[in-house]
Amino acid sequence: MAKTGADLLVERLLAWGVDTIFSLPGDGINGLYESLRTHQDKLKVVLVRHEESAAFMACGYAKFTGKLGVCLATGGPGGIHLLNGLYDAKYDGQPVLAITGSAAHDLSGTYWQQDVDLVKVFADVAACNERVMGPEHVESITDQAIRTALSQRTVAHLSFPKDLQEWTTSNDKVSQMNVEHHTSPTPVSYDVVPSQAQLQKAADVINAGKKVTILAGRGALNARTEVVQLAETVGGPILKALLGKGVVPDDSPYTTGGIGLLGTAPSQDAMEECDTLIIVGSHFPYLDYYPKPGQARTVQIDLDASHIGLRTPVEVGLLGDSRAVLQALLPLLQRKDDREFLEKAQDRMKSWRELLHERGSQEASPMKPQTVPLTLSPLLAENTIVTCDCGNNTTWAARYIQMQEHMLFSTSGLLATMAAGLPYAIAASVAHPGRPVVALVGDGGFTMLMGELATAVRYKLPIKVFVFSNRAYGQIKWEQIVMEGNPEFGVDLQPIDFAKFTDACGATGFTLTETKDAEHVIRQALAHDGPVVVDCIVDPNEPAMPGKVSTTQAIEFAKALARGERDTSEIIKNVIKNQYREAVATKGHSLLDVIPGL
């Protein structure tokens, strides 16, 4: 029996092991939806409220499963809406296949309704980006798209004209040069290992080092045991890029936590003092946080050759999977008996943890934003999946959520887009039914796609969402003040009662306003069997300052205050209260030390 183009596509997805698609329907993909209906016993379609969410969910699904994420949208506006989530996947190296509809093949380019050339639109975001030319083309081009997405860990896109979805193989002729069924859905292993000579060269560099530091990113998530063994062998601390937060538990004696604007002072100290740096699966983008050129000899492990030497000078590059490379490298390394460098980092981390606890446990009104993750973290189950948005909430999640051995964490990394936190949480819950899922989001980012709460209700996904309501685009506010030296402008938000909105969607809403109520409310939220949103009303003038404040940042901060920042008195009060201890924890690099008279 002849099959439609849509059936051939759906069956090819099944052959590759696809079991979930995130989508919003439209007339440009009605043929595909009919095939999805007839295959619904094998392939689940998660109906979203916005196509941008579908792409975010496909990216999150890939992150939390290691499998291909798939999203489907109609032509024109539907496909355009996918772009932000697809760039998120591209920049964070996640395999995602986007499928879009388009006008009938014989009306393309004639200003037909919703006729947008999405192949041209997707030219930058998709490594494989093709229009399906008929049923006989489906098998080979779908294989090629999926192969590309998986092998390059990136985005692939197929544009499928509306009429060709309903054509059958009996309507289509195979070209003379084509051979039917010549292509196959063949998974491959990426356990690539460098030559023994290259491994020995790297080992010689590391063995010669006296103060060795490890920077671990998302590419090290599959090498958790090996990264800890590496730290034990070299006697050095593990610094974590944000997407590598789950590489080792935060209570490990080998880690000093995050690096960068959201990171810790002990991590920055380790980076500034090391003579040898090992980068494992990371291309952390902030150049100022690396050792100065010439300071440290560097070995970098990455599956993508284009990342090696991208951010800092590298003496030895090891191309391959982090786990496989470390398993081959570790036997060549000599254990360092001198633990002074590691012990110094551990002492600093102890002081840093005390500082964070002191800040997060303040009895203050309005409630400090740190209170929420400080209270939440010890209440999380050991297999919780944590997502967060991009903004001030990212700082609080990065510093205060303490990863346990079996927890997973992610956010939008290199793209750093707002609005991904809630869709990521939904994707995680779809991918791992039964596992607790928690999202920490800002009121700005949550508002962008908060309609997806209805998606969580529809599919009975028991996600717990904590909204930091500071009535502002808080991260942008602090960038204006600290980075630019300008008073805040254009960042205020009209308050929304998120608990009432949640109840209207059919979920359960709580409002948290007082520090003393934090544990009780959070316990209630976590215990509830169903989706929950906790509207956390927090201090809008609590600065999400870097772990170590540079002189330049301090000067710009002072300029903003001098030029008329409207909340000057409240900001100064918070800074003085919070940072008198930081002068110790950061070796004299707090605002108290670098702003005269503060």
Q: What is the pLDDT of residues 86-125, one digit of tens each?
A: 999 999 999 999 999 998 887 777 787 778 999 999 999 9
CA distance linking residue 396 with residue 386, whole number of Å = 13
In this structure, which amino acid lies at residue 171?
A: N
Token pair 């999405």: residue: 118
Residue 542: predicted pLDDT: 83
CA distance linking residue 4 with residue 9, whole number of Å = 9
CA distance linking residue 358 with residue 373, whole number of Å = 13
pTM of the model: 0.91
- Using DSSP, state whether 70 is helix, strand or coil: strand
The arithmetic mean of pLDDT across residues 283-290, rounded, is: 94
The maximal CA–CA distance of the chain, rounded, in angstroms, is: 83
| pLDDT single digits (tens) 256-271 | 999 998 899 899 999 9
Residue 365: predicted pLDDT: 87
pLDDT of 36 strictly over 90: yes
Name every residue whose Cβ is closer than 8 Å to that of residue 530 and which is 6 or more positions away in sequence. Answer: 457, 460, 462, 507, 508
Residue 225: predicted pLDDT: 97
pLDDT of 545 strictly over 70: no
Name every residue whose Cβ is closer than 8 Å to that of residue 368 and which is 6 or more positions away in sequence. Answer: 359, 360, 362, 515, 538, 539, 542
- Find, among 387, 533, 506, the residue nearest to 59 by Cα: 387
SS3 content of the chain, % helix, strand, coil (to 5): 45, 15, 40
Q: What's the count of helices (H) and strands (E) in the chain, helices before strands?
A: 25, 18
The arithmetic mean of pLDDT across residues 491-495, rounded, is: 87
Residue 561: predicted pLDDT: 52
Residue 560: predicted pLDDT: 52
- Using DSSP, state whether 499 is helix, strand or coil: helix
| pLDDT single digits (tens) 137-188 | 999 999 999 999 999 999 999 999 999 999 887 766 777 788 888 888 888 8
The arithmetic mean of pLDDT across residues 307-335, rounded, is: 97
Cα 558 → chain centroid? 32
| pLDDT single digits (tens) 401-427 | 999 999 999 999 999 999 999 999 999
Residue 222: predicted pLDDT: 95
To the nearest 10°, the Cα dihedral for 37, 39, 43, 48?
-10
The arithmetic mean of pLDDT across residues 422-434, rounded, is: 98
Mean pLDDT is highest, among 178-187, 360-369, 498-507, 586-595, for 498-507
